[in-house]
Structure 1
Amino acid sequence: MTEANDQLRHARERVESPRAPGQSASRQDLAEMVNEWIWRQRGRHTDVDANYIGKLERGLIRSPQDDYRAALRAITGVRTDPELGFRVRRHSSSPVENVDRKEFLRAVVGVGAAVSAAPLLELLSPDQPTPVPNVVTQADIDGVRTAARVFGSWDNHHGGGLAREAVVAQLRHSAEMLDSRCPEKLRGELFAAVGFLGHVCAMMAFDAYAHDDARRMFRFTQACADEAGDWNLRAKSLSSMARQAIWCGDPDQGLTLTELALVRADRLTATERAMLLAARARALAKMGRAEETLRTVGLADEQFTRADPANDPDWMRYYDQAQHLGDTGHALWDLAVRQGEAKQEAASRLASAVAGHTETYVRSRAMSGIKLASLTMTVGDPQEAAVIGAQALKDAQSLRSRRAADDLRDLAHRASVHEPVAEVAELRHGIRLAVAAS
């Protein structure tokens, strides 16, 4: 078990807060003093924060880098590292040879030490945060966009539950660039790129059911879009916020958000208008407004016929014909299973979406397949539904998606009335195993 570094905590508490005279310095106070000392004494920009000081005080990091130790010694008025509970690093020139894994870990962690997660995590705690550029360049902005594309692709292929922490860390680092000096001609691009990454992060949080995190990140994305004057990013984030609201059982709020996004539809591409109208149809369907749903799906189709991918921003690359058919098919699914309307049209759209989605969009393919299986299980042939469901289950098993897992639970529930059918029983068993492992 990691032992807390009480020596450092006591030393911090002896330092007076620059913000609240007479009170002890907080972790954030100490972090800022460290950054200031290193800048003045070493001429280097650092980004120590309260979280990092907390890791030091919890004993997760016992050997911070030289500059940090020097700053902490100077600020707390001590002469040696051990007075702050820090270990002095010793480097060995002898290579580790012919040892098995456990022996190697003991050699790395310390002779005689138990091989546990805590000391190993200590080895992975960075001593030196990645520096933020003092002046933002086009290359920096392109790097943020690339990160957003890469993580967005990961999300589409694997779901939001696996790499979310990595994306949050990247977003925090990128957001710090907003305080760096930036040429005026690049300022809008910078905010749009960071907002793009914020949207990816929000969607991953939504998929992992970290709903409060998602809402905060969507608000961050909106703020970036407003600062950049980017109507396209604004519309995309409002559309995603609407989808989250609908998923969380508030279609009225989802409808409001889509209407807000469509206020200046003339500034959006045809693809974006189709996306927003599809989201509007999903909200209307959840509210039981069948006639308006069908009319809105028709309007979405009309806009999609005018789509030109060359005019669309990066974050709209996913919205191809398969995605459009899947989104509108999801809207019609509600009418089909709850009101018995548009059953054939819903099934046709969902089947085309499944056939059209490539390996890049495994989650979308899985979720459309699960919905198609649920629809067929409810209003069609249970054996056919079991075949469709088995393929969707295969896709879903590669995901870490709470949304997909909940859709599988709904499919299993709808299939329960057909349990005597062997294929259905096998499907329900497979779903139970998959959900238990998710």
Structure 2
Amino acid sequence: MAARLCSGCARAAGFRQPLPDGFFTTDAIRTALSDHDFGVVFAAIRDCTGLSQSQLAGLVGLSQARVSEVEAGARRLTGAKLAARISKVFAVPAQLLGFHVDTTTPAASSLATEEVDWVDRRDFVTLATAAALGSRLHPELERLAGLLPGRLEPVTRPHIGDTDIDAIEAISDGFRRWDLAHGGGLCRTAALSQLHQVAALDDAACTPGVRGRLQIATADLASMAGWLAYDVEDHNAARRLWTYALHTAQRADGHLRSTDMMVVILLDMAHQALHLQRPKDALTFAQLAAATSISRRHPVSQITAGYIHAVTAWCWAMLGEPEPTHRALDGSRDLYTAATADTTPPWAWFVTSAEIAAQQGHSLHLLSLTHLQYAEPATAHLTVAVQGHPAEHERSRAVVLPTLSVAHFQAGDTDSAVRTGHDAVAAVTSLSSQRCYARLRDLDAVAARHQHAPGVMELRADIAAALAV
């Protein structure tokens, strides 16, 4: 029976008989649901229940003509909201549609909300792998543009050229500079709006060279929009945007920067997984980035290869494994040293000596959480990073300061920890970066273990006031 209807209402809606138990777990329906092939599902539902196309259309909010086209295979349904509606109306188990469900809640049998949770999707690593390898390996990749958050009506263009791509690249660079200086909160809506405009250019006429540049520029803008979403803790939006960016970069296989772009996006996914305390997922993304870097037509740049090793070091450090952490750090250091300006991707200009010190210090900080002897080396690298970040990279500096304070606590230098902690609060509260506030919460948890030391109670009060606001 339909999930939302009592027996009388179901009869009034056109049900001659209810759906039998186990209807959605048959092999044919399972396969159709997994592929989001609602034409097969609609036809089978109508065959079992006696619903007409018009009656089924009314239940799920479609026209009869649209249902007919879907059943005939002429059109596919791609919207997450529509998938949620179908799941609710017919009590389709959400996990059969490829979505994570919390089985401890009463609504776990179907999609209880209209937005699908991309953070807890059980197949997200598989989906990202498919995007990296090719679009035919996962049916959902073809509907990614319909899943972008904040969809707007774009302005279409019949023809584009190199100057249009120059403008798109400049837009992405502007958002990147704003994020480094101020955090993602104040510009993420503008980035989404620009992305929808740029994505609409996919059908515009252009030369093959411009087409490749457009795909890379679109992927870069989508990746930047994903990072801005991540910076304000909108993790679902970040994952959608990064998967779209990855798929778009994969399509630009012949472009010199395609591999670099794909690898950086996969490493952003790893960065997010670490932030969400999922080091094994993060390591999977880092390993996929490493495999992608050597399996495609064009090799990655030295600086991107160095970043692969840096993120891999974070993963092993969070897992408490010193030896592979040090191997990855050594590889990162060697590759960064070998990098040259003429081979650096245009979007990697911000990887300065301060940024590299921050990456190394973060690995040692993560190791210090299980091996205290790494706390002092961590403070040395993180101090270099804090002192080296210029004013226009204030967000980068602010995200390091709470970690440096924690490292000082771990090393037993309470005075430096308190002083740096107050600096962290001042820096974080001047920005629009929720991710920095998460670092303050981590700092407060560590400070609580030292609350009887001089100045710690005042630091915790300062942090509490910042978090309250």
TM over 0.5: yes
Q: Please give the alpha-carbon distance, in whole angstroms, between the structure 2 residues aligned to 1:278 and 1:396.
A: 24
Q: CA deviation at 1:342?
A: 2.3
Q: Please give the alpha-carbon distance, in whole angstroms, between the structure 2 residues aligned to 1:299 and 1:395.
A: 32
Q: CA deviation at 1:290?
A: 1.3
- Whether contact under 8 Å (2:375, 2:408) holds in the other structure is no
> Alignment partner for residue 281 of structure 1, among 313, 317, 328?
313
- Whether contact under 8 Å (1:376, 1:382) holds in the other structure is yes
- Whether contact under 8 Å (2:376, 2:411) holds in the other structure is no
Aligned length: 322
Q: CA deviation at 1:28?
A: 10
Q: Please give the alpha-carbon distance, in whole angstroms, between the structure 1 residues aligned to 2:301 and 2:261.
A: 11
> Alignment partner for residue 370 of structure 1, among 386, 396, 402?
402
Q: Please give the alpha-carbon distance, in whole angstroms, between the structure 1 residues aligned to 2:373 and 2:415.
A: 22
> Alignment partner for residue 239 of structure 2, among 195, 215, 233?
215
> Alignment partner for residue 158 of structure 2, among 134, 142, 166?
134
- Whether contact under 8 Å (1:208, 1:401) holds in the other structure is yes
Matches within 5 A, 1:207-246: 207-229=231-253, 230-246=258-274
Q: Please give the alpha-carbon distance, in whole angstroms, between the structure 2 residues aligned to 1:225 and 1:264.
A: 12
Question: Which structure has the larger Rg?
Answer: 1
Query: Which ranges in structure 2 are unaligned for 5 or more consecutive residues?
Result: 1-52, 64-80, 82-151
2:202 pairs with 1:178:
yes
Q: Cα deviations across residues 50-102 of structure 1 (Å, max 9, x unaligned)?
A: x9xxxxxxxxxxxxxxxxxxxxxxxxxxxxxxxxxxxxxxxxxxxxxxxxxxx
2:323 pairs with 1:299:
no
Q: Please give the alpha-carbon distance, in whole angstroms, between the structure 2 residues aligned to 1:434 and 1:28.
A: 48
Q: Cα deviations across residues 170-204 of structure 1 (Å, max 9, x unaligned)?
A: 11111111122222221000000011000000111
Residues 1:332 and 1:28: Cα distance change in structure 2 (over 3 Å)? farther
- Whether contact under 8 Å (1:337, 1:379) holds in the other structure is no
Residues 1:157 and 1:130: Cα distance change in structure 2 (over 3 Å)? same
Residue identity opposite 1:327 in structure 2:
Q
Please name the residue that 1:88 is paired with.
Answer: none
> Alignment partner for residue 289 of structure 2, among 246, 252, 261?
261
Matches within 5 A, 1:34-433: 131-229=155-253, 230-263=258-291, 265=293, 267-433=299-465
Q: Please give the alpha-carbon distance, in whole angstroms, between the structure 1 residues aligned to 2:61 and 2:388.
A: 52
- Whether contact under 8 Å (1:415, 1:428) holds in the other structure is yes
Structure 2 length normalisation: TM-score? 0.65
Q: CA deviation at 1:242?
A: 1.0
Residue identity opposite 1:226 in structure 2:
Q
Q: Please give the alpha-carbon distance, in whole angstroms, between the structure 2 residues aligned to 1:165 and 1:209.
A: 14
**More displaced stretch, 156-165 vs 168-177:** 156-165
- Whether contact under 8 Å (1:238, 1:261) holds in the other structure is yes
Q: CA deviation at 1:248?
A: 1.5
SS in 1 for 2:329: helix
Residues 1:314 and 1:21: Cα distance change in structure 2 (over 3 Å)? farther
Residue identity opposite 1:369 in structure 2:
L
Q: CA deviation at 1:231?
A: 0.5
- Whether contact under 8 Å (2:155, 2:200) holds in the other structure is no
- Whether contact under 8 Å (1:350, 1:368) holds in the other structure is yes
Residue identity over aligned pairs, in percent, reads 28
Q: Please give the alpha-carbon distance, in whole angstroms, between the structure 1 residues aligned to 2:373 and 2:367.
A: 5
Q: Please give the alpha-carbon distance, in whole angstroms, between the structure 1 residues aligned to 2:449 and 2:267.
A: 36
Q: Please give the alpha-carbon distance, in whole angstroms, between the structure 2 residues aligned to 1:221 and 1:175.
A: 10
Q: CA deviation at 1:425?
A: 2.4
Q: CA deviation at 1:258?
A: 1.3
Please name the residue that 1:46 is paired with.
Answer: none
Q: Please give the alpha-carbon distance, in whole angstroms, between the structure 1 residues aligned to 2:286 and 2:204.
A: 34
Q: CA deviation at 1:264?
A: 5.2
Q: Please give the alpha-carbon distance, in whole angstroms, between the structure 1 residues aligned to 2:333 and 2:441.
A: 31
Residues 1:164 and 1:351: Cα distance change in structure 2 (over 3 Å)? same
Q: Please give the alpha-carbon distance, in whole angstroms, between the structure 1 residues aligned to 2:167 and 2:346.
A: 14
Q: CA deviation at 1:21?
A: 8.1
Residue identity opposite 1:238 in structure 2:
L
Q: Please give the alpha-carbon distance, in whole angstroms, between the structure 2 residues aligned to 1:417 and 1:342.
A: 19
Q: CA deviation at 1:371?
A: 0.5
Q: Please give the alpha-carbon distance, in whole angstroms, between the structure 2 residues aligned to 1:435 and 1:330.
A: 23
Q: CA deviation at 1:336?
A: 1.3
Q: Please give the alpha-carbon distance, in whole angstroms, between the structure 1 residues aligned to 2:403 and 2:342.
A: 31
Residues 1:172 and 1:129: Cα distance change in structure 2 (over 3 Å)? closer
Q: CA RMSD in A?
A: 2.5
Residues 1:265 and 1:223: Cα distance change in structure 2 (over 3 Å)? closer
Please name the residue that 1:91 is paired with.
Answer: none
- Whether contact under 8 Å (1:275, 1:319) holds in the other structure is no
Q: Please give the alpha-carbon distance, in whole angstroms, between the structure 1 residues aligned to 2:232 and 2:288.
A: 26
Please name the residue that 2:5 is paired with.
Answer: none
**More displaced stretch, 421-430 vs 228-237:** 421-430
Q: CA deviation at 1:421?
A: 4.2
- Whether contact under 8 Å (1:280, 1:296) holds in the other structure is yes
